[in-house]
Amino acid sequence: MNNDNMTAEKTDAEIEKTRLHDEREAAMPPPIKPAAERDALRARLEDFSFFYADGFQAIKNVDMPILDRKVTSIIGPSGCGKSTLLRSLNRMHDLYPGNRYEGRVILEPEGENLIGPESDPTLVRLRIGMVFQKPNPFPKSIYENVAAGLRVRGIKNRQVIDEAVESALRRAAVWDETKDKLNGSASDLSGGQQQRLCIARALAPNPEILLLDEPTSALDPIATAKVEDLVQELSDSVTIVIVTHNMQQAARISHRTAFMYIGELIEFGETNQIFTNPRHPRTENYITGRYG
Amino acid sequence: MTDNSHLLKSFDASLEGLLMAFKRMGDLASENCAVATRAYLAADDSLALEAVNRDLDIDEAFEQLRADCFDILLRFQPVAKDLRLVMGIEHAVGDLERAGDHAKNIARRVISIPDAAIANGDAHAVEELSGIVSKAIDLSVTAMIERSAADAKRVIASDAKIDAHNEAIFDAAMVALRKHPKDAHKHVQRLFVAKGLERIGDHATNIAEEVLFLTRGMPPGATRTGQDFG
């Protein structure tokens, strides 16, 4: 036997094995880590500002921590910049020319500036998933909706994708309702199921941060309760930032709350403190319903 | 919006209604403290009966105010200062109800023991104690309605004065007991009456502490000396 050929065959096998291993690893849900250190940082905004293409400054010099495996809610009146801030975190504004970021959004512990020129927006979006106000499944099967992010990640092995799809659907608490119709159209699901499917789709690439933009505003109370329970469960393994107009929801599900007004971060603190004893009069006026 | 109005007029109206009902309950409790004391000092059974019956009104007000608090919590889910105010009132009405019970117990003594009246020489001390206690109840209710930390502190400060009066009455009773043991039952009744008034003062202090919590958003910490008598 030729030693060179043997070496070449072994190398091919090893390459395949390594590729499969890498794909499995990329698709595996993150292991449950020990409880987060108190107030350990997952990200931090430093002097962060955002300008739309017409020059309008929607976010003004925000400094804010995002704590690891905690739920942070952002509240504030319409137009205060909370959704704009959320969308900045996964570079969604890059899709429109002329928009501009200033300051830094540092992902910890790596120290990578997510809005820096060195960061690839597509890769940022794989690391920071997003779910929108209205459920927006792709016009595809349930399976393909969840697999989409994995395919973007370059995962091709069918078995790996199968396992990851099941894992994501289980994490999003929608597996039992979809396991028998994975090839059925996602649009046939109820609104609440569609939203949890969208959460599964966002979870599939194993993001480090999950952004939720008013995820229950289009859902009935039962579907809302399921999503709220899901957010609580997911916060054991993923950092969550949620924008909500429902202050009771913010009080129920988040560990930290940020109040924004006209692009400024007015107050940030423990949710309990914000809703029982806010420090800033503007926060108090808003949450007590004395502010338009 | 520059004034302090709530976006929901119905919330402001409900809160206003709650505060007015709380004021009425406070007036009832304070007045009954005075009426029960007068009945005791005058050994007036009919006045005592009036105080006993008035306690039923206080109990009814307690039930209604608690229901009103639950209604506001259910309908408006208040937060921050509004939540603290509603919860403060929900706690305070419990104190007013207990204060009413103490006044009722004083009145019952008058009815159950025919010669419960005390010697004229001791009347002034009990009357004075009763006056301070009624004022403490009034001021604690005003402090809650006005969210006034300053008034709450005055109530808390008056508790030491109430305790001192109670102690003085106790000392005088001990002396009288030794001198006139055949009148022991009168002196013992006086001790019970003074103790009842002192307990009403404690409930005023409880309400004042609620006011400090609702105005500051944090527990008031230790406000009592730990030297309460009895």
- Answer whether A290 sits within 8 Å of B7, measured CB to CB: yes
Partners of B6 on chain A (C-beta within 8 Å) are: 288-290
Rounded to a whole number, what is the distance in Å from the CA of B25 to chain A's nearest CA?
Answer: 27
Q: How many CB pairs under 8 A join A and B?
A: 40
- Answer whether B7 sits within 8 Å of A292, measured CB to CB: yes
Rounded to a whole number, what is the distance in Å from the CA of A81 to chain B's nearest CA?
Answer: 20
> Which tens digits make up the pLDDT trace of A227-247?
999 999 999 999 999 999 999
pLDDT of residue B1: 39
pLDDT of residue B229: 39
The rounded average pLDDT for each run of 10 residues, N- to C-terminus, in chain B (230 residues) is 74 95 98 96 93 97 97 93 96 98 95 64 87 98 97 96 95 90 86 96 97 89 53
Q: SS3 helix, strand, coil % of chain B, rounded to 5?
A: 85, 0, 15
How far lies A257's CA from each of A104, A232, B8, B189, in Å? 20, 15, 24, 57
- Give the residue from chain B lying closest to A283, CA to CA: B80
- Answer whether A275 sits within 8 Å of B79, measured CB to CB: yes
- Answer whether A284 sits within 8 Å of B81, measured CB to CB: yes
CB crowding A44-67: b at 16 or more within 10 Å, else e: bbeebbbbeeeeeebbbebebbbb
Using alpha carbons only, what angle is made at residue B68 by residues B137 and B217, rounded to the nearest 5 degrees? 60
- Answer whether B6 sits within 8 Å of A247, measured CB to CB: no
Owner of token pair 């987060």: A36
pLDDT of residue A37: 60
Partners of B84 on chain A (C-beta within 8 Å) are: 276-277
In single-letter form, the type of residue at position A268 comes to F
pLDDT of residue B132: 97
A→B contacts (Cβ < 8 Å), by residue, are: 247-248, 251, 275-278, 284-285, 287-292
A71-75 and A239-243 strand pairing:
parallel
User: What ipTM score was computed for the predicted complex, to two decimals?
Assistant: 0.75
